[in-house]
Copies of this chain bind each other. A is one copy, B any other.
Amino acid sequence: MTSPVGLDRFWAVVPAGGAGTRLWPVSRADSPKFLHDLTGSGRTLIQATVDRLRELAGDRVLVVTGGAHADAVREQVGDLPRDLLLTEPSPRESMAAIGLAAAVLERREPEAIIGSFAADHVIGDQEAFSKAVVEAVEVAAKGDRLVTIGIEPTYPATGFGYIQMGPRLPGHRSARRVRQFVEKPNARRAASYLATGEFRWNAGMFVVRATTLLDLLARWHPDLAAGLREIAADPSLLADRWDGLEKIAIDHAVAEPAADEGLVAVVPGGFDWDDVGDFKSLSGLLPPGEGGMTVVGDPDQVRTIDAGGLVVSGSGRLVAVVGLDDVVIVETDDALLVTSRERAQDVKLVVQALTAEGRTDLV
C-alpha cells in the first residue's frame, strides 16, 4: 500500500495563544487555557494536542506561542527542539502566528505542507481525526488547495463560524469544495444551517502547502506576507518587526477571499470536537458525577446535597454545595468564581472589570 500522499512532508503547526478569559480563574494571562488540564485527563490541552499530532507527524511538530509562555510550553511538551518553538513578542492573531510557522518551514522544506491545529481544543476520536487530516493533506498535496476540516454540527451553535460545503472533489474520499465561510450565526440562522445539511463548524483547522499559504496571503495582504518571510529569513528582525505586522485572523486574511475564488476545500471531520470556550462547554465535555455534579479535581473534596453543575476544585479546600442546580464553581488559590452554566459566557466581564481596575495580579 502506498503511503498517503504528502504525509512525508507534513508538518503540524500548533498556535498556542488566546487568553481564555471565559475560563478565568483557571486561565490567567501568565498561565492561559492551553497550559491547563481542564478535563482532568492527566494531560494539559497543549500536551493532548501535541500527543494527537505526533501520531501523524512524529517529531515534525512546531509550536508558536507568546514569549511569556515559552518556558511553560517547553516544560510541558518536552522533546521540543529550540527551532521548533517559535515565540511571538505579542499577540497578533492567527495569521501572523501561522504565517510565521509557514515561512520558517518553507525555508526548511520548500514542499512542506502545514496543518494548523489550536493548542486548546479537545478532540475525542484520534482515529477519525487522523483520517480527516490525512485526506486533507492529500487534497493539499494533489490540488495545491487550502483545505479546512469541517466538523459535523451536533447542535445549532452560535459560537462558531460555519463552512458551507459545495460539490464533491473528484479523486478524494470525502473532500468537497468550500462554497463559502460564514460568520457566527444567530440561533435562527444556525438552525437553518443545520436544516440544510450543507454546513459544518469551522474549527480553525487549515491544511495547506506552506508556500501556497504565503503566496495566497501576498495577494491580499502583501506587507504581512513579506514581513513574515523577512523575519523567517533573518530571525533577528523578529523583535523589531513583529508589532508592526497586521493583526488579522487567517479566516479573514486568506480563507474567505480564497473561498470566493473557489480555491478552498473542506474535509468533513467525523469526530467529536470542542473548543472548550467556557465552563458551560467544559461541563458538557465531561461525564456528570454523583448527583449531577461534574467535578474537575479531587471528587473527595466536593460534597453536594441536591445540587448539579460543575465544580473545578483547585485549592484543596472542601467545597460543599447545597440546593443549586446549574451552578458553576471554580476555585483556585487566589480567586473563586461562582456562576451558572447559562451565564458562562459572561465570565470575561469579570476579567474586564479586574483588568480595568489594574488587578493584573488576578487576571
Residues of A within 8 A of B (CB): 25, 303, 305-306, 316-324, 327, 329, 331-340, 342-343, 346-347, 349-350, 353-354, 359, 362
Q: Could you say which residues of chain B place their CB within 8 Å of the CB of A303?
A: 350, 353-354
Tell me whether B350 and A323 are in contact (CB under 8 A): no
Residue pair A337, B322 in contact (C-beta under 8 Å): yes
A40 to B355 Cα, complex, angstroms: 28
Q: Which residues of B contact A338 (CB under 8 A)?
A: 319-322, 324, 327, 329, 338
Q: In the docked arrangement, what's the CA distance between A317 and B343, Å?
A: 22
| A336, A339, A342 — most chain B CB neighbours (10 Å) | A336
Interfacial chain B residues near A350, Cβ < 8 Å: 303, 305, 320, 322
Closest approach, in angstroms, between the C-beta of A116 and any C-beta of chain B?
33
Bound Cα distance A347, B322 (Å): 7
Do residues A336 and B343 form an inter-chain contact, with CB atoms below 8 A?
A: no
Q: What chain B residues lie within 8 Å of A346 (beta carbons)?
A: 305-306, 322-323
CA distance A327 to B347 in the complex (A): 17
Given contacts A338-B324, A340-B324, A342-B323, contact A333 B317 (CB under 8 A): yes
Residues of B within 8 A of A324 (CB): 324, 327, 338-340, 343
Chain B residue nearest to A316 (CB atoms) is B334
- Known A305-B346, A305-B350: A323·B336 in contact at CB below 8 Å: no
